[in-house]
Structure 1
Amino acid sequence: MPYEVQGVVARAKGEPVTVETVLVPDPGPGEAVVSVQACGVCHTDLHYREGGINDEFPFLLGHEAAGVVERVGAGVTDLEPGDYVVLNWRAVCGSCRACRRGKPWYCFSTFNASRPMTLSDGTKLSPALGIGAFLEKTLVHSGQCTKVAPAAEPAVAGLLGCGVMAGLGAALNTGAVGRGDSVAVIGCGGVGNAAIAGAKLAGATTIVAIDTDDRKLTWAQEFGATHLLNSKGLAEAEVVETIREATGSFGADVVIDAVGRPETWRQAFYGRDLAGTVVLVGVPTPEMRLDDLPLIDFFSRGGSLKSSWYGDCLPSRDFPMLVDLYLQGRLPLDKFVTERIGVNDVEAAFGRMHRGEVLRSVVTF
């Protein structure tokens, strides 16, 4: 028998979300039903509502979630009811060319549940990032469930499911920040501040935080930034010079662009040291272009220019480790939770997120 629960649905582009009855089927082979305990409100959910991902409306929103496995389908051997899990949207296949090369964090054939969740009239829903977790129970592929230590509060642990992992991974995995490195982070929302937290965890000694909002810079300092720059109204050269001043005139070893605009990417490119690394984790829109960078600058500056997908994370490896670091008091994941809200408050939370008033609103059940 399907479960009947209330979930947050985006029916049409740009329209306010609604809370509607959702039917969640029993798990099929390789699937699991998870009782969701908490789910963060992420920018990606807003992008879905605005039609910025695709036009497969209606969407069932929510994906940064933690909860408890309620039922598993046939063939599931690594999960059982009662397991405490964080949901992820990279359930690796183990057999694609990336997985065969020993790089499963790039898996090109990830899994989602095959059975659809629907509205009460039978309309199929498109779950955000293959999850859909702004509801009390959701259906996912078993590989989307990562077991972690149950001592971690769901509102905190669930944030590893997307934005916080993207930022931490941009520093720890993609940027490979090491002890004594200098780092600059452009854009200090949830992803950028997670990158700052990751850089501090890795042992970076200089961390320059750059944003146009003093409130976000205050958060950045709490996560470990050693230098703050409000770049509002500043020319590109002024931002680059500030990074150089903070790093002994050389530029940063790693610069992380958590905004994803041509102007911020240029600041990152020129703000790094020779042979330094640029990590793009902010997501550009399709029309954005880089047309004015001399090719000789790519050659003469050397180093690495990288994009970070989901923080290049492997959930089975990274989620348990990061939760353990949080429980040891070495990673302040709880600082990302600005407020706890109900399922009826998601639309208002989108507004607060868009205005930069919160790092994360978290729906709790």
Structure 2
Amino acid sequence: MPQSVRGVVAHKKGEPVSVETIIVPDPGPGEAVVQVQACGVCHTDLHYREGGINDEFPFLLGHEAAGIVEAVGEGVTDVAPGDFVILNWRAVDGTCRACRRGEPWYCFSTHNAAQKMTLESGQELSPALGIGAFVEKTLVHAGQCTKVDPAVKPEVAGLLGCGVMAGIGAAINTGGVGRGDSIAVIGCGGVGDAAIAGARLAGASTIIAIDMDDRKLEWAKGFGATHTINARERDVVEAVQELTDGNGANVVVDAVGRPETFKQAFYARDLAGTVVLVGVPTPDMTVDLPLIDVFGRGGSTKSSWYGDCLPSRDFPMLVDLHLQGRLPLEKFVSETIALDGVEAAFEKMHKGEVLRSVVLF
């Protein structure tokens, strides 16, 4: 029987969100209903509210979540009621051309729930990233549920569902950072700090944090940065080279996603080094680089989709590392808030006052 729950809805571009009654249908074949326990407030949710993703309003916001499976539909075998899960937006289909060539983290045909959650009026909602988790219960495809150790706190586990995974994966999966490597990370918000934490996990010896906010640079030290650069005060490329014997870093992660930061990343890497773009640019942005430099510097420039993660592989591993005390996920949680605090959390995030506000149910 369909359930009525409370959730956060964005009705129009740029307008404040509202808490409304959401109708959640029973799970159909391949679907699951999850009782959400915690959901992080991510920049992507703000992008949805601002119309930066698409114009399919109204949106049911929220996607960086963890909770308990309440019910599953026909044919679901990987999760069962009572399982503690992290929600993901890359439920691989296993049959697309990326999956067939053994690269499921690039899956080009990911799954979402077939049914729609609605408002009381019957108007269908567009769930953020196919999840919609600023809500007491949500309907997702069962493949979007990744079972992990229930010993982890929901408010930290959910962060692996998006921003933290994107950053850690950008460093380790996409950038291939390894023992003794040097890495520079441009932009020390949640994703950038996660890249720093990932580089530390991987054994990088020189971890350079770059931002224009001294407060964020201090936060970055807590995740493993060995050096910091304030981009308002120093030329980024020169400063990175000074810290790497004049060579540049083996890997540079652009966690901002602007033409100027991408150029900094491109020229701050060593010859044959790797540039990783994980910050999301807007459609109007372009970058102009001399083609001879692209050729002459060698190496690679990569974009990182969701940290090139495979949730079934990476989420349980990272939860285990956290429970062992090796991955300080709790440091990403700046505050926990109620469901009606999302709009205020957007403002704090926009001002750079928090790494993550987390809705705790």
**Equivalent in the alignment of 2:110:** 110
Which of these residues, 324, 328, 346, is aligned with residue 350 of structure 1?
346
Is 2:318 the partner of 1:322? Answer: yes
Deviation at 1:83, TM superposition (A): 0.4
- Partner of 1:306 in structure 2? 302
Instruction: Give, in whole Å, the separation in 2 of the partners of 1:3 and 1:354.
Output: 34
Which residue is equivalent to 2:216? 216
Q: Deviations over 1:259-297 (max 9, x none)?
A: 001110010000000000000000011111112x11110
What CA distance in whole angstroms lies between the structure 2 residues aligned with 1:206 and 1:75? 48
1:259, 1:233 → 2: CA distance? 18
Question: 1:82-120: CA deviations, max 9, x gaps?
Answer: 000000000000000000000000000000001000000
Letter in 1 for 2:254: D
Matches of residues 178-327 of structure 1 in structure 2 within 5 Å?
A: 178-232=178-232, 234=234, 238-291=235-288, 293-327=289-323
Structure 1, unmatched stretches of 5+, are: none
- Counterpart in 2 of 1:173? 173
Amino acid at match of 2:320: D
Using the TM superposition, give the Cα deviation of residue 146 of structure 1 relative to its aligned residue in structure 2, in angstroms: 0.1
Given the alignment, which residue of 323, 327, 331 partners 1:331?
327
1:361 aligns with 2:360: no
Deviations along 1:165-212, one digit per CA (max 9) or x if unpaired, are 000000010001000000000000000000000000000010110001
Unpaired segments ≥5 residues, structure 2: none
1:122-133 pair list within 5 angstroms: 122-133=122-133
Distance in 1, matches of 2:73 and 2:283, equals: 39
Please state how far the C-alpha of 1:233 moved relative to its aligned partner. 5.7
Q: Post-superposition shift, 1:77?
A: 1.1
In 2: Cα distance, 1:136 partner to 1:8 partner:
10
How many angstroms apart in 2 are the aligned matches of 1:14 and 1:156?
A: 29
Q: Given the two structures, how large is their TM-score scaled by the length of structure 2?
A: 0.99
Once residues 112 and 167 of structure 1 are traced to their aligned partners in structure 2, the CA distance between those partners, rounded to angstroms, is 23
In structure 2, distance between residues paired with 1:178 and 1:65: 29
1:57 aligns with 2:57: yes
Percent identical pairs in the alignment equals 77
Deviation (angstroms), 1:79: 1.2
String of CA shifts for 1:122-151, please: whole Å, max 9, x gaps.
000000000000011000000000000000
Counterpart of 2:129 in 1: which secondary structure? Answer: helix
Q: Secondary structure of 1:184's match?
A: strand
Q: Which amino acid aligns with 2:307?
A: G
Equivalent-residue separation in structure 2 for 1:232 and 1:73 (angstroms): 54
